[in-house]
Amino acid sequence: MAAKKSEQALVSEWRELLALHARTLGELDRALERHGLGASDFEVVDVLAEAAEGGDACLRVQEIGSRVHLSQSALSRLVARLERSGLVRRAMCSEDRRGVRVELTDAGRALHTEARPHQRAVLSRMLNGVGC
């Protein structure tokens, strides 16, 4: 009986985590909508901005993929959309012609600076006090 109760508690905790994730994504989408971004769009822009702050002006698509939770095809479509919007620029890797590098444009950096406080406020509101 104790094992079954423990299993039920684990499943319940998992479902609470999924619900928090869904609520947080919804809040992020609403907060970022005014900037013309969705949560996934911002996540890619944020990863690129953090890389640039760390000295990497651009990242390979595979590197971005390891930091965001999107399929390769979804990430490729998202990067193409961001490029059409003028927020990122893609170029072939000089060291490996099969690879593609992505970097923020000036417009992408400006939009990130504008949207970041809204994204961080949602994360703070939704996740403060949530422990592992």
Residue-wise pLDDT tens digits, 72-115: 999 999 999 999 999 999 987 555 566 789 999 999 999 999 99
DSSP string, the chain: -HHHHHHHHHHHHHHHHHHHHHHHHHHHHHHHHTTT--HHHHHHHHHHHHHHHTT-SEEEHHHHHHHS---HHHHHHHHHHHHHTTSEEEEE-SS-TT-EEEEE-HHHHHHHHHHHHHHHHHHHHHHTT---
For the entire predicted model, the pTM comes to 0.86
Q: Which pLDDT band, with edges at 50, 70 and 90, does 56 fall under?
A: confident
pLDDT for 100 equals 82
pLDDT for 131 equals 58
> Rounded mean pLDDT of 40-55?
94
State the average pLDDT for the chain. Answer: 91
CATH topology of domain 2-127: Arc Repressor Mutant, subunit A (1.10.10)
Domain ranges of the chain: 2-127
Query: Would the pLDDT of 57 be above 90?
Result: no
